[in-house]
Chains A and B, each alone.
Chain A
Amino acid sequence: MTSAVTTPTAAGPMVPVPYRVAHIHWELSDTYTLTLTPESGANMSFEPGQVAMIYILGAGEVPISVSSSSRRDDAIQLTIRAGGYVTKAAARLAAGDTVGIRGPFGVPWPMEQARGGDVVVVAGGIGLAPLRSVIYEILEDRHTFEDVSVAYGSRDPGFLLYEAELHDWRSRFDLDVEITVDRAPTSWRGDVGLVTDLLPRMEFDPANATAMICGPEIMMKFVSRGLADMGVDRERIYLTMERNMKCAIGLCGHCQLGPQFLCKDGPVFPLPVVEPLMEVEEL
């Protein structure tokens, strides 16, 4: 089992470091992006797919994948859905407020392994957030990758995360971007249906592709099945798994899925490792 042994913060991985809220941007009615800058010292250095633990004074702490470019040295961005107590409290933050950040934690997306070949990025709903840093990284070094396809599925046209960026990416000639929704009004001129159905139309060579998938578990299951059926090597299909993370350093036990601690053995895993684990109900 590989583990990411990045030494996060100077005070130790259990103690947060203060970050200031520079900006809060509402992406959707229930989803917002925080832009955070370190109060002192260097910005957190991370790789796409890694997770930060954000601590809100008086509310608690939650794990959020970092969705900004890993090349930025001024700030990190966290895209958060206001679902529970902590994420709703964080939604009330204003520019200038302090939060605590611990991280980065976890095994990142296999960017180095993906270089030199085709890349398929498949995102569902808010799953686009952990993959946005992948797209940024690819665009930074675009010539080191071959054909790059991005397939995004969401609930309906009003639910598209990073909609403006999606359109920018779609208009690029060096990216093949397809978007689909589960349902739409008749004014929608795009696709309606499963994100898997977009894949056969896209411009990647299954025999030479690395796939990175993020979304609800059921979506990742049918997408990975679809990609494998198309001929993508199972060892090159990567998923990011989700369970509650508390300590994020492999000591509290909560994030276990079978023998894997999602916080240090994941959350990114190649399909063969997690496929048997996803098959067992309530594992």
Chain B
Amino acid sequence: MLPDLAVLSQAGLDALIKTLISDGYKVIGPALRDGAIRLADIASAEGLARGWVDHQEGGSYRLEPTDSDAYFSVVHGPDSAKQRLFPPTETVFTVESGSPDRFVAADHSQQPSAFIGLRPCDVAAVAVQDRVFLSGPYVDPAYAARRDTSLVIAVNCTRSVSSCFCTSIGTGPRAQTGFDLALTEVLDPTHQFLVEVGSEAGANLLDRLPATAPSTDIEKAAEAAVGACATSMTKHLDTTGIKELLYANLEHQQWDKVAERCLTCGNCTLACPTCFCSTPVDTSSLDGGTAERSRVWASCFSLDYSYMGGHPVRLRGASRYRQWMTHKLATWIDQFGSSGCVGCGRCITWCPVGIDLTEETKAIQTADVRTSA
């Protein structure tokens, strides 16, 4: 019976990554790319963005190099696991014209992926997308194939940025479930990782690594660091009765107010780790001999996202913003049994004008039509 908790050294972290690679996994972790932290294929622990620190707030993302040699000092970047589990474009089927035409489903088999460094909010986001793609009457075969072979090594948070509000949603800063292994990085007095086992696959992996038993000191240090992170959060969203609140306030003037700023650019839907909308794209060869359907990410902010008889249904930016926010915080609950929001704050950071859905919700809460005159 393997222990639930263990300790890995820095070398142990590297061994973890190398073991996964030799097991045939593509290891994906946060790396410095294009001036931001992106999820990239990494070959060793050195591939991680050591010492970098991110500053995020509405409409702003900045990276700062520091003297720290922490591996996981950055909270997150615009990418989330959805970049890999539900990629921006994907082939669905191909067609060969003939008598008759032949439709061939795309092959979804692929190299297994191991995510290292997923934040608890992102681990929760994977669970949210699991409910979308795997628990309905129709299962997405591509997503299922990728999830069946994926491993999740989460990293608990020991610092937050101002966009974060995972404590309001209950998804962090410590991962509770949905991981194979969860690491907490402790810098003092020794730079080590407290490892929590979350599954049998995680236990088997840990068994092959140079892990040691934890001391009470490291357990306490990890707990303190995560606790400090929780109290450091400045942004809060009151989710009590939020579904009923938004259902009752669909004609609230706040939607028109936010529409004055919203560019309907869709950045929030790109950065959000749970947004799942897509559009099929049908293309054919010049000679019409073959055709292909692929699926690409779509955004409810597009004018032609929803139409009837060729005319857009949500003409006004206000109705499109309302669609996104009420889906994320309210109708999602009726559809999938949980909120679509995990409190990662990316929509706030990556919005060019810094619209904050916690503030928008507050504005509606304080002028709720059910209580106002």
| Residue among A14, A18, A259, A281 making CB contact with B335, cutoff 8 Å | A259
| B60 touches A (CB below 8 Å) | no
Contacts of B103 in A (CB 8 A): 11, 15-18, 100
Stretch at the interface among B16-24, B162-170, B300-308: B300-308
| A3 touches B (CB below 8 Å) | yes
Contact B305 A254 (CB under 8 A): yes
Contacts of B102 in A (CB 8 A): 18
Nearest Cβ on chain B to A214's Cβ, whole angstroms: 14
Contact B305 A14 (CB under 8 A): no
Stretch at the interface among B109-117, B278-286, B344-352: B278-286
Stretch at the interface among A53-61, A145-153, A169-177: A53-61
Contacts of A61 in B (CB 8 A): 280, 282, 293
Contact A280 B251 (CB under 8 A): yes
Contact A18 B101 (CB under 8 A): yes
Contacts of B323 in A (CB 8 A): 256, 283
Contacts of B279 in A (CB 8 A): 246, 252, 254
Contact A250 B137 (CB under 8 A): yes
Bound complex: CA of A1 vs CA of B331, how far in Å?
12
Nearest Cβ on chain B to A106's Cβ, whole angstroms: 11
| Residue among A12, A57, A83, A259 making CB contact with B334, cutoff 8 Å | A259
Contact A83 B101 (CB under 8 A): no
CB neighbors of B among A86-100 (8 A): 98, 100
Contacts of B313 in A (CB 8 A): 243, 282-283
Bound complex: CA of A187 vs CA of B101, how far in Å?
49
Contact B105 A59 (CB under 8 A): no
CB neighbors of B among A242-263 (8 A): 242-244, 246-247, 249-256, 258-259, 261
CB neighbors of A among B272-310 (8 A): 276-280, 282, 284, 288, 291, 293, 295, 298, 300, 305-310
| A226 touches B (CB below 8 Å) | no
Contacts of A84 in B (CB 8 A): 310
Nearest Cβ on chain B to A17's Cβ, whole angstroms: 7
Bound complex: CA of A15 vs CA of B293, how far in Å?
9
Nearest Cβ on chain A to B141's Cβ, whole angstroms: 6
Contact B308 A253 (CB under 8 A): no
| A20 touches B (CB below 8 Å) | yes
Nearest Cβ on chain A to B223's Cβ, whole angstroms: 39
Contact B308 A259 (CB under 8 A): no
Contact B306 A100 (CB under 8 A): no
Interface centre among A57, A61, A84 (most CB of B within 10 A): A57
Q: Give B317-332 as 1s and 0s: 1 = Cβ < 8 Å from A's Cβ atoms.
A: 0010001000100110
Contacts of B334 in A (CB 8 A): 1, 259
Give the residue name and chain of the B residue nearest to A99 (CB): B101
| Residue among A59, A247, A283 making CB contact with B250, cutoff 8 Å | A283
Contact A247 B278 (CB under 8 A): yes
CB neighbors of B among A219-271 (8 A): 242-244, 246-247, 249-256, 258-259, 261, 264
Known: A14-B105, A98-B101, A252-B277. A83 touches B141 (CB 8 A): no
| A207 touches B (CB below 8 Å) | no
Known: A61-B280, A254-B279. A13 touches B100 (CB 8 A): no
Contact A256 B327 (CB under 8 A): yes
Bound complex: CA of A18 vs CA of B97, how far in Å?
11
| B140 touches A (CB below 8 Å) | yes
CB neighbors of B among A10-66 (8 A): 11-18, 20, 39, 55, 57-61
Nearest Cβ on chain B to A173's Cβ, whole angstroms: 38
CB neighbors of A among B242-282 (8 A): 250-251, 276-280, 282
| B63 touches A (CB below 8 Å) | no
Bound complex: CA of A254 vs CA of B291, how far in Å?
23
Contacts of A256 in B (CB 8 A): 306, 323, 327, 331
| Residue among B99, B136, B308, B319 making CB contact with A250, cutoff 8 Å | B136
| Residue among A57, A83, A100 making CB contact with B284, cutoff 8 Å | A57
Nearest Cβ on chain A to B275's Cβ, whole angstroms: 9
Give the residue name and chain of the B residue nearest to A217 (CB): B308
Bound complex: CA of A58 vs CA of B102, how far in Å?
14
Bound complex: CA of A84 vs CA of B309, how far in Å?
9
Known: A251-B138, A253-B277, A282-B314. A57 touches B298 (CB 8 A): no
Known: A14-B93, A253-B298. A244 touches B306 (CB 8 A): yes
Bound complex: CA of A4 vs CA of B138, how far in Å?
10
Bound complex: CA of A244 vs CA of B278, how far in Å?
13
Bound complex: CA of A264 vs CA of B308, how far in Å?
18
Give the residue name and chain of the A residue nearest to B315 (CB): A282
Contacts of A98 in B (CB 8 A): 97, 99-101
Interface residues of A, Cβ cutoff 8 Å to B: 1, 3-5, 11-18, 20, 39, 55, 57-61, 83-84, 98, 100, 217, 242-244, 246-247, 249-256, 258-259, 261, 264, 280-283
What 9 A-B pairs have minimum CB-CB distances, sorted nearest first? A253-B277, A282-B319, A249-B138, A259-B331, A259-B334, A58-B284, A98-B100, A18-B100, A98-B101
Given contacts A12-B105, A15-B103, A259-B335, 12 further A-B contacts (CB under 8 A): A3-B136, A15-B92, A20-B100, A58-B282, A58-B284, A58-B288, A243-B307, A249-B138, A250-B137, A259-B331, A264-B137, A283-B323
